[in-house]
Structure 1
Amino acid sequence: MKTLLLRTGLAMALALSAAAAFAANVPQSFTATYHVLQGGQPLGDATLTLKPAGNGQYEYTDKIVGTSGLAAALGASTSEVSRFAWVGKVPQAISYKYAMASAFKPKNRELAVQGNTVQVDDNGKHHSYPAQAGMVERNTLPLALGVALRDGARSATFPVGGRQNIETQTFKVSANEKISVPAGSFDAVRVDRTDQDRAFNAWYVPAKYPVPVKIAQKDGGNLTLELVSYTQP
């Protein structure tokens, strides 16, 4: 009996040790803030937050508030809320909610993985398609890429859940560049999307942050996000 108890206790200790080691290998919680610019001019402020949500799930939010120009005049803001579980080192999607508030035209989109199916409600239009292991969505994609870069990857491919289907997106490290943002000056790696021309660039400092220090995307408004601060509990 003592031998059995000893073996059981040892097995539990090893399991807890492995879980602790895994937890240390992926981000658990942080808050990052950014300035948002459009065409080089101030547009708003963004806040990214990661926190545990219980039952092995995590909540990842991205909130942008317009503070200048037309965005401020229209009271524009966006909110993206993701639920995911770390599967290996990938933030596998469970659900995603997008909402854009504006005096002009509000928008909403929801995605939920239900069994082997992804269900999408896009402003009242419903779509469904087969789920795929390791699927992320657009909100958690930069986080997934940051974790891959920290582990030494020079390129990465992800299945990304969208409105009507899963899109395979591929990224690669294109250069090492010095970059200055409000959070400081860094020796960063520039990552470009390579599966198609989307004019997307992101600069990471993988050893320091799991999220980009800068993002530049011409598709969808010529937006740039620059890191202001990054904090952990």
Structure 2
Amino acid sequence: MNLASLNSLLLTALLVAAPALAQEPPPADNPLLPPAEWNPPPLEPFVATYQAFYKGKEAGDATMQVVHGDNGQWRVDMAVHGKRGFAGVLGLNLEQSTVFDNQGTVYVPLSQSTVKKALFFGKKVTGVYDWRHGSAQWQGNLKKERQRPIPLQRGDQSALLLNLSLMRDARPGQPLSYRYVDVGRVRQYEYMAAAAAETVQVGDLSYDALRIHRTNGGNDETILWIANGVPTPVRILQREDGEDAIDLRLIEYQGA
């Protein structure tokens, strides 16, 4: 669908409205499984639904989908809906989309949009990745300095594309590096995949999943678990100052 992850920035922008929540430690009996052949999922249309937790309590739900247009371009969408607690009272909702090309070894963002809606405010931002002229630029409800053109580099990713790129590129025990260019910001993201899969319980389902964590986030951690045969992360967790913050857990997914 942050989303970021989604990506962390996408989800934080919607749900963060209070201090970090109490830590939810991983189960003690969560053994690493023997290394197995890793088969990254092909890029195919899908729709995935997540439960969204904040402050240790269910806060709403999120939907991530990938669609393939008639013009050969792709689009990844994330929609997050606050339904309970503080997020529910304010009616917090956020939608983000990225249109992109699949160039085999890299997903190339072409345009991006973010819409935030709540009881007392609304916000919309749109951006274009102009690869012909080598720059990206956003407009809408943004500070002036974040509306300036940003020089592009091959491999640059939007927040939502990071999820898909991690799914495609992750290999057990290998580092991953991406340059994030989204909503007028540039950041370097470094990740590391675990050496072996581990058993991850998500609702009533159990997955043999590969843990991927960001290594240069400082006090702001992002952790994803991805599983063979599943086109989207089975869990996305953000942690602040060593404590769990936002937690997305996959409920179901299907081909679109």
Between the aligned partners of 1:53 and 1:204, the Cα distance in structure 2 is 26
Q: Whose strand proportion is higher, 1 or 2?
A: 1
- 1:199 aligns to what? 221
Alignment of 1:127-206 (within 5 A): 127-149=148-170, 154-174=174-194, 176-182=197-203, 184-197=205-218, 198-205=220-227
3-state SS, counterpart of residue 76 of structure 2: strand
Q: Give a deviation string over 1:33-88, Cα, whole Å, max 9, x none.
A: 10000022000111111111232211111011112112122111100111000122
TM-score (norm 2): 0.74
Give 2:136's aligned residue. Answer: 118
Alignment partner of 1:224 out of 247, 253, 256: 247
- Give the alignment's TM-score, normalised by structure 1: 0.81
* Residues 41 and 231 in structure 2, CA contact (< 8 A), matched pair in contact too: no
Distance in 2 (alpha carbons) for counterparts of 1:227 and 1:108: 27
Which structure has more relative contact order (CA 8 Å, sep 6+)? It is 2
**Structure 2: unaligned runs, 5 residues or longer:** 1-39
Indicate which of 71, 93, 106 corresponds to 1:55. 71
Instruction: Call closer, same or farther: CA 1:44–1:104 in 2, change over 3 Å.
Output: same
Q: Distance in 2 between matches of 1:172 and 1:152?
A: 9
Report how many aligned residue pairs link the two structures: 208
Identity of aligned residues (%): 24
Cα displacement (A) at 1:201: 0.9
- Which residue does 2:113 correspond to in 1? 97
> Structure 1 or 2: larger helix share?
1
Task: Map 1:77-92; keep pairs closer than 5 Å.
Answer: 77-92=93-108
Higher-Rg structure is 1
Gaps of 5+ in 1: 1-23
Please give the root-mean-square deviation of Cα atoms over the aligned residues, in Å.
2.3
Classify the secondary structure of the residue corresponding to 1:93.
strand
